Chains A and B, each alone.
Chain A
Amino acid sequence: MTDTATSGLAALPTVGPLYRERAEPAEGMLEAACHAVYARTAARWRMAGRARAKRSARRAGAMAAEITALSDTDLRARATALHRSVAQAGAVSEALRPEGLAVIAEAAWRQLGLRPHPVQLAGAAVLLDGAFAEMETGEGKTLTAALAAALLALTGEPVHVLTANDYLATRDAGFVEPLLRFLGLSVGAVAGGMPEPERRAAYRASVTYGSGKEVAFDYLRDRLVLGTAGHARLRVSGLRGDDRRRERLVMRGLGACIVDEADSIMVDEARTPLVLSRDIEGELPAEVCHEALRIADTLSEGGDFAIDRTRHRVELTEAGEDRVAELSADLEGLWRVAPHRRDLAVKALSARHLFRRDEHYLVADSGVEIIDEYTGRTMPDRFWNDGLHQMIEAKEGCEVSGIRTPLLRLTYQRFFRRYRHLSGMSGTLVEVAAELWSVYRARVFDLPTHRPLRRQRLRSRLFPDETAKWSWIAGRTAEMIAKRRPVLIGVRTVDAARRAHDAIRARGIDARLLSAAQDKEEAEIVSEAGAPGAVTVATNMAGRGTDIKLAPGVAEAGGLHVIVAERHQSRRIDRQLAGRCARQGDPGSFEICVSAEDELAPRLVRHAPFSRSSLGRPIGLWLVDRAQARLERIHGRARARLVRQDQNLEGLLAFAGEDL
């Protein structure tokens, strides 16, 4: 479903002349410190908010009988009345919530054939509250978001529902369309590669679905149109009736936002700022890249440079610097200046040792394409900056492109803070509750499951090497298939997916591969992943939001079995992957397999024979656990630093005028 529905647009109250978004609050150091303390203490007492959400849900439930009795026409009339009062109030006040939820729930039942259960209603109430709901995977978050989005859209504000990827955006938009249409609202979806007019149409809809990245980039492009003077200029041109600038805008502003898989988008991805690049500006000559790579190849690790894998960074030692100077003595241009020389060497070394084909990037016809480490998809319009991209192109023998200079840079943190109403959901939020409060001033409420959870966790395993791991996984898969259970194997990289695939094929089992290289067949693969005996190997992308529906009879066989073939960057991603099984009361099981050769395995595990004794294995697994926790901490700090730097920069860069 890539088409966008824009009917019913005329009925919408028009948005004011302004591009609405929230001004960022200025905050002193002391305030920030208080909030940080609050985040770690009081923000965890989520009682009051949860009680309010449950009350709304209960009241909505109480009204259900009355509303069920209405005819379609009467229900529609009721919806219109609701629309009017919400639009008048300009917000979904607490008093309006029970009725609103009840009406929309009934509409959902009639249009989608799904009756929202109380947990979903409570979840929607949390979202309306501008908070975050932790709901167990498979609890029907899509419907929850739709309920809240529909109600929020009644205010006339633009409502964005952000998903983890384009696939989910299109899928969810298609799913909720009948419901919103019934309520006189429209829905749109944006996806990568969509032309501008279509995008504009999608944003003109009452509710717009899109991946976090797409929406954020659309916003960046809008900011560029608005220019430095921003709102003031827009207002003036509006008064003059000169709307050319407005016509170039894509969005209507940042009104309400519901972030599905909030931790993925707002926390994991928030580590790298969004950068909108201009087309070719300068250039890094191909021969310089080749020279740099040639020099880099003669340097030795340890002596000339060191690789910091945790922080993904290469450092040149003093000896290395001297060596580079020596090797480039007869070269011209940038090589003549020490800082440039150093810079080139570090870039070349990074290209050689840190960035791996099929893990960090793919080589396509058009050149090097970055793989999004969170979604596993390629991002053809994004580039590494300051010559790194060119270096990697040179390394892969592609044509070396020109350097793209950034036009605009925005952190996700700042982007989300500009929404006037920010809310979200995920199966894994509690771990990041403190961060959500410190950064977004948003609280997290965890909601219980609708039906008892029947997910079984099997013992984690530690293998001495990759080969042992893959062959065991293949054996395990065969075992499960014999029971007629489907199997999902979650891996971290495209490369690992390929290896898993090979190992399983070697056993004569047919497996589907779900990875960045082939995302066109995705929906089909997902829809078949629940069939008895189906084996699916998936990179991160399957970890979020994908609902693998069990085929008839599979539940009786024990449901989906998930093998987490490697520890990911955070426990949350592992939990998400495990959350693919045992959804909505179904049975299911998962297990975690780790090898001493995994990237996350600490050096101690790599070299000590933990995996060879039954006594050592728990220790080894625990060490891997610690390594994962450490990585999470490092990333957390990196994000905090990013936010801080962002604020500091604002002061420092004041001479450059207001930021966009």
Chain B
Amino acid sequence: MTAQNLHSASWYRVRNLRPRLRPNVQIHRQEFRGRVWHVLQDHATGQFFRFSPETWCVIGLMDGRRTVDEIWLAASDRLGDDMPTQDEVIQLLGQLHKADALAGDVPPALRELDERARSARRGRLLKQVRNPLFVRIPLFDPDRLIAATLPLVRPLFSGFGLIVWFVVIALSAFQAGMNWEELSSNTLERVLAAESVVMMFLVFPPLKLLHELGHGWAVKRWGGEVHEIGIMLLVMLPVPYVEASSSTAFASRWRRFAVAGAGMMTELLIAAAALQIWLAAEPGLLRAAAFNVMLIAGVSTLLFNGNPLLRFDAYYMLGDLLEIPNLATRASKWWAYVCERWLFGVRDAQSPADQPGEAKWLAIYAPASFAYRIVLMLTIALFVAEAVPLVGIALAVWTVLLTLGAPAWKIARHLLTSARLERVRGRALAVTAAGCAGFVALLFAVPVPHATVAQGVVWAPEAGRVTATGDGFVRRVVVEQGAEVGPGQPLLRLEDPLLRREARVKAAKLDVLELERISREAESLTESRLVARKAAFAREDLAHVERKLAELTVTSPRAGRVRLLNPGDLPNRFVRRGELLGYVLRHGERRVRVVVLQDAVDLVRNDTRRIDLRLARDPGAEVRDVRVVREVPSGDRELPNPALALSAGGPLPLDPNDPNRRRALETFYQIELALPPDLGPLGVGERVHARFDHGREPLAAQLWRYARQTFLERLDI
């Protein structure tokens, strides 16, 4: 406690009061990180106040007999260096009064009471308006309902219940693992099927109601009260909620933890039951329903409620686990403290991390949660905007303004009016302005390399293909890789031992026939002619085989340079007729076909300064400054090469309805790039990354273009 002023100018107003706590005030003892704190609930607003041991000592002195002045003096005696300042005592009394915990000896300030009620009402209303994506509509007081139904589930909220739960969940997880293939295959399709959506809407509310009742029962089980249940319009989807904050008063953090976790545990239990049904039932409506229940209760719950970055179940669970209550608020405060202390130089700034080990959690939580919220908000906003364009866009803008604008406004107000910053306001404003200016400059003025990266494959013309003209083993590669050849020049020789033998047999046969003809010539003309005929056949036969033998020499289809595929592997390899062995390419004929998605094509076509290539096989090798040969003006959906499919590591997702697996799901454009001829062993069909350089452009411009494209594309405007 190192506040500057020990004395307060308002002390005279309070010094003679004799305050004491109201007898019916409930104070709860809780332990956080080894220190005992006292928690007091304000039943009017549902707020909780947490008092440190020092503060509690001051409260302990309020017995209705001591005056505030005497309390302060006694506290300074007892606490020594930790004594509170007068302002802190006034602050404390004010807090206690606001929580209706104070009984004094003065008539109340009626105007203030009235004002307080008014502002509480207004606050509740404002909260609704402030966040239209999360509107809460309270319905009724479920306390009695929960009390009445509690006996039904009470056994579950015990140590034994916990063990049962774990066993059931573990078993189900095992079963789910066994049936994983079936469970996980084309989930998306199943989810998006029309009847499934309807089912989802039917299943969702009761499931969530059970989830909320889970919280309610848990609160009730350990002596808390639940006085509000209602419907929250979560992005216009009705979701039930319960007001379970009375669990904050529980002394055991594990009970608080259990209350927060009860919802998810309930759902997981339901998911486990649904799994059994799914396993047992025949395909049909029941099975589909079970599947949906599993999906919602198992997966969506873990994704949504199980994320501590949002203020849902897991957030409270994390807070109890770490013993850091009010994590989010205190994390923001911690960052404010860091700024004030180290950037603005407020020497007496006090860290809200008052217990060992808290600081690191506070440091991590705030930025993580903020970033996540922004991403989530934008996603939701975009989703809503897609569904109902006009309203959605307004909603999206409002949400973004709130997520970014409200904190900005708060920061600005703090900077301008906070009394704590008074002496360093100049510096604080300067540092903040410099920070903002730096950020803006970074965003708007500092050009950042801007480029589109696309994938493609190396491509060559049909006429240059060198294919095996027959089946056989490669005996010899006649030319060197890259050698200049003329048309018809042998490139490599194949060998087929059977064919050679056949030729020899055929030749021998012809020789025999020839001899026979000669010997018969003298005997009978007729016979000799017959044999001559036979010999002619045999000759033709031999010629045929010889032709085939000749075909075993692969020749160049045209003039150009030889580019064999894998020349090192060729000798002694068996090739089949028609197999592609390589290319004979003319100068500059080798190209790269790049596919560019629709949203980038404008930029690539109109604002490309330079194109660089990089091989997928060898990312270190880079080909700089290649030239565009041809742009295919219209979009295409037929893949030029299967390597470009998403499943093969390319950019294009395939259309699942195409049996040939050659059609892309979205339209793309092809651009042909020239390759420098002297480039080393770059095989045709090889995957290539092309980087279209758009020069340097400030980030803001890049983001703006991206945002505009996203909106244009997704909202069809």
Chain A residues within 8 Å of B, Cβ to Cβ: 26, 228-229, 273, 275, 308, 311, 315, 318, 336-340, 342-343, 385-386, 405-409, 641, 644-645, 649-659
Contact = CB atoms under 8 A, between A and B. Distances in A.
B179 to A, nearest CB: 59
B19 A339 contact: no
A651 B13 CA distance: 13
A338 B81 contact: yes
B449 to A, nearest CB: 44
* Nearest 9 interchain pairs by C-beta: A655-B97, A654-B112, A657-B106, A652-B94, A386-B7, A338-B81, A406-B12, A343-B6, A654-B109
Contacts of B4: 315
A84 to B, nearest CB: 38
Contacts of B347: 318
Given A308-B423, A406-B12, A656 B17 contact: yes
A649 B14 CA distance: 12
A280 to B, nearest CB: 14
B23 interface: no
Interface in B107-150: 107-113, 115-116
A644 B416 CA distance: 13
B12 A407 contact: yes
Contacts of A308: 423
> Residue among A336, A405, A654 with the most chain B CB within 10 A?
A654
Contact of A649 (B10, B93, B422, B423): B10
**How many interface residues does chain B have, given as a range?**
35 or more
A337 B76 contact: yes
B90 interface: yes
Interface string B414-426: 0001010011000
B6 A342 contact: yes
B9 A654 contact: no
Interface string B4-47: 11110111111101010000000000000000000000000000
29 contacts: A26-B115, A229-B107, A311-B423, A336-B80, A337-B83, A339-B83, A340-B6, A406-B9, A407-B12, A409-B12, A409-B13, A641-B419, A644-B417, A651-B112, A651-B116, A652-B91, A653-B10, A654-B97, A654-B108, A654-B113, A655-B19, A655-B93, A655-B94, A655-B97, A655-B106, A655-B108, A656-B17, A658-B110, A658-B111
Contacts of A26: 111, 115
A273 B9 CA distance: 10
B13 A343 contact: no
A652 B89 CA distance: 11
Nearest to B425: A637
A656 B83 contact: no
A26 B83 CA distance: 35
A408 B14 CA distance: 11
B104 interface: yes
B61 interface: no
B715 interface: no
A652 B96 CA distance: 10
A408 B11 CA distance: 10
A339 B81 contact: yes
Nearest to A655: B97
Nearest to B13: A656
A539 B15 CA distance: 40
B115 A339 contact: no
Nearest to A646: B10
B1 interface: yes
Given A338-B81, A409-B12, A656 B6 contact: no
A656 B9 contact: no
B353 interface: no
A659 B13 contact: yes
Contacts of B10: 409, 649, 653
> Residue among B9, B13, B96, B97 with the most chain A CB within 10 A?
B13
A37 to B, nearest CB: 14
A656 B107 CA distance: 8
Interface string B54-93: 0000000000000000000000100011010100001101
Nearest to B9: A409
Contacts of A653: 10, 13-14, 90, 94
A412 to B, nearest CB: 15
Contacts of B90: 652-653
Contact of B9 (A229, A336, A340, A385): A385
A318 to B, nearest CB: 8
B507 interface: no
Contacts of A228: 106-107
B87 to A, nearest CB: 10
A224 to B, nearest CB: 12
A156 B106 CA distance: 36
Contacts of A318: 347
Contacts of A405: 11-12, 15
